[in-house]
């Protein structure tokens, strides 16, 4: 009986479920094609927000925002409905970030301040972590380069989210920042310690924000550079001492000498 159940496809298993909630939960948690489709949707929305951030507001972008906003709202409500702990789900950082994104996309229905709101869509980049996690589970190439890709995601998310925060807090107060590109220029020059000085943040809060960008941004930038030049490591925990980073061709743990088994070797 168990062999027969194991031979069933995801679609067959889905059809055997009776309640709608069980079906939706299976789609989100176990259906391979649906999960990869949602990963593709997340990737498409992230890329769309990255590209259109630099484009002037236009009618087609507004309508795409409306469609994506309603799709994201539907997705969030579905995840909340099937969550085993709804309170924890709706109070999580990822859900709150999605709420900000959804409100920023649907708010133009009620207000004309579209240019100001659209920068808040950068919060959707926080979804990149869930996307990367799903890709590492289902793609060997991504799994082998997971550390480097995580460093890239950390840096990109930091730049775009912090740039949005700089823009929102400085627009109208700082005559040097009149667009999102100005805010991004300041963020990049600050985290790389280039600091040309042509754009500075005003007020005490602005100076504190500059300090935070330098302290956090420099670390992320160095981590990114380090991941490019340091050889990839296999993440397999040694049963004896717990060391989890080893060379892909390692047989013994370099810390305690215990035998380790690395199944996924990098492809030639």
How confident is the model over 31-67, as pLDDT tens digits?
A: 878 877 887 888 788 788 777 777 776 778 888 888 9
Architecture of 145-232 per CATH? Answer: Orthogonal Bundle (1.10)
E-strand spans in the chain?
A: 234-235, 245-246
Residue 140: the pLDDT is 67
Render pLDDT for 228-249 as a digit per residue (tens, 0 to 9): 666 566 667 777 777 766 666 6
Give the model's confidence band at 191: pLDDT under 50 very low, under 70 low, under 90 confident, else very high: confident
User: pLDDT of 75-132, one tens digit each?
Assistant: 999 999 998 888 898 888 778 888 888 888 887 776 655 555 666 677 777 777 766 7
CATH number of 1-141: 1.20.120
Per-residue pLDDT, 3: 47
Mean pLDDT, the chain, rounded, equals 77
Which ranges of 119-234 does DSSP label H, i.e. alpha helix?
128-138, 140-144, 146-170, 180-191, 203-229
Give the global pTM: 0.62
What pairs with residue 245 in β-bridges?
Answer: 235
CA 234 to mean position of chain CA atoms: 23
């Amino acid at each position: 009986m168990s062999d027969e159940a194991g031979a069933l496809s995801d679609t067959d298993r889905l059809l055997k479920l009776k309640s709608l909630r069980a079906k939706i939960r299976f789609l989100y948690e176990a259906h391979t094609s649906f999960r990869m489709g949602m990963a593709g949707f997340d990737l498409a929305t992230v890329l769309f927000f990255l590209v259109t951030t630099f484009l002037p507001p236009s009618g087609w972008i507004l309508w795409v925002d409306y469609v994506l906003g309603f799709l994201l709202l539907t997705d969030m409500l579905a995840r909340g409905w099937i969550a085993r702990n709804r309170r924890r789900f709706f109070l999580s950082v990822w859900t709150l970030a999605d709420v900000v994104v959804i409100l920023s996309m649907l708010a133009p229905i009620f207000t004309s301040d579209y240019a100001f709101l659209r920068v808040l869509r950068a919060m959707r980049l926080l979804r990149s972590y869930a996307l990367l996690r799903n890709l590492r589970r289902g793609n060997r190439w991504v799994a082998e380069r997971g550390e480097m890709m995580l460093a890239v995601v950390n840096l990109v998310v930091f730049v775009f989210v912090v740039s949005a925060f700089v823009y929102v807090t400085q627009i109208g107060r700082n005559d040097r920042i009149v667009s999102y590109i100005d805010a991004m220029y300041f963020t990049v020059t600050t985290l790389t310690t280039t600091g040309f000085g042509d754009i500075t943040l005003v007020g005490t809060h602005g100076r504190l924000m500059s300090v935070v960008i330098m302290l956090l941004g420099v670390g992320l930038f160095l981590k990114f550079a380090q991941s490019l030049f340091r050889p990839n490591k296999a993440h397999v925990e040694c049963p004896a001492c717990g060391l989890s980073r080893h060379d892909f061709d390692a047989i013994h743990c370099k810390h305690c000498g215990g035998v380790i088994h690395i199944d996924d070797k990098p492809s030639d």
